[in-house]
Amino acid sequence: MSLRMIRWTALTLATAGLVLAVLFHWQVFFRVPTEASMGLVQRIFYIHAPAAWVAFLAFGIVALCSAVYLWLGEARLDRAALAAAEGGFVFTTIVLLTGPLWGKIAWGTWWTWEPRLTLTLLLWFIYLSYFLVRGATENPGRSQRFAAVVGIVGALNIPLIHISVLWFRSLHPQPVVVRADGPSLHPDMLNTLLTAMGSFTLLFLALFLLRYSVERMGDRADALVREQLHPTPGPTPRA
């Protein structure tokens, strides 16, 4: 797929995502029933949870691309992983912002030491180091492999985060959607959640593609520089 095409798809996805975003905000504010125990704040849920899931999706992509990159050594995959990682980082940050907002009202505290919260924070740190490692070596190929390894290992945390609320006694609510016996939500809540989910996913994909194309352009630039430094050979002197 040519860069131009990539950028166009990215833009279309972005617009679609924004439309959905408007839609689900409308739903959030005018449609869904207010949740009984927590009241209005509960509506953060429609940003909070989808953001988390999209982040998971993103890091899943990172792990996948990284693994295949290590296997095939295909530079594009590394670029893809990087792009996805940045998306995931953003959405994790959103979770880490909306969570406390909610918590302040639902639990009366911004933050508490509680498995899911902590693990999420640590997830954020792992991908911080993912970006650090990239910049920190003498030769590019190496840092990309390092990053890939970090990306893969980091993703191992995700299932742990999901399960954490089940394993440990914890404040954080149990799964209400992704659970053995199907979703336990008011249908309006559910489809609002799904709209939000869709919107975030589209936005993420748009971001992902844009970053990817930027990375690719960077590679092109390098190639051009190289071409200038080493023009294709002329006639070489013979002995």
Partner 1 sequence: MTLPPLLEARGLVRDFGPHRAVADVDLTLDVGELMALFGPNGAGKSTLLRLLSGSLRPTEGELHFRGVPFMPGDPRVARQVGVLSHRSFLYRHLTARENLRFYGRLYGVVGLEERVARRLETVGLQARMDHRVATFSRGMVQRLALARTLLHDPALVVLDEPFTGLDLDAALRLSRVLTEVRSDQRAVILVTHDLQRGRELATRVGVMSRGRLEVQAPAHSLDGPGLEALYRRVVEVPS
Partner 2 sequence: MTAWIWAVWAILHKDLTREFRTWERLVAMASFAILTAILFNYALDRTEVDPARIASGLIWMTVLFSGLLGLGRTFHLEEEEDALVGLLLTPIPREALYFGKVAANAVLLGVIGGLLLGVFGLFFGLEVRGNPWALAGVMALGIVGFTAVGTLFSAISAGTTMGESLLPLLVFPLLVPLILFGGRATALVLSGGPAEALGGPVRMLGAFAVLALVTGGLLFRYVVEE
Ligand X SMILES: Nc1ncnc2c1ncn2[C@@H]1O[C@H](COP(=O)(O)OP(=O)(O)OP(=O)(O)O)[C@@H](O)[C@H]1O
Query: What does 106 bind: partner 1, partner 2, ligand HEM, none (CB cut-off 5 to 8 Å by kind)?
Result: ligand HEM
Tracing tokens 């520089």 back to the chain, one arrives at 225
Dig out the tokens for 161 from the structure.
Answer: 């985060």
Residue 148's binding partner out of partner 2, partner 1, ligand X, none, with CB under 5 to 8 Å set by partner kind: partner 2
Distances, alpha carbon 100 to alpha carbons 126, 132, 158, 213, in Å: 20, 26, 20, 34
Site string for ligand X, 138-177 (x = CB under 6 A): xx--------------------------------------
- The Cα 116–Cα 173 span in angstroms is 10
User: Residue 96 binds what, of ligand HEM, ligand X, partner 2, none (CB under 5 to 8 Å, by partner type)?
Assistant: ligand HEM
Nearer to partner 1, 140 or 159 (CB): 140
SS3 for 99-121, per residue? Answer: HHHHHHHHCCCCCCCCHHHHHHH
Alpha carbon distance 143, 89 (integer Å): 19
Interface residues with ligand HEM (CB under 6 A) are 45, 48-49, 52, 95-96, 99-100, 102-103, 106-107, 111, 116-117, 120, 161-162, 172-173, 175-178
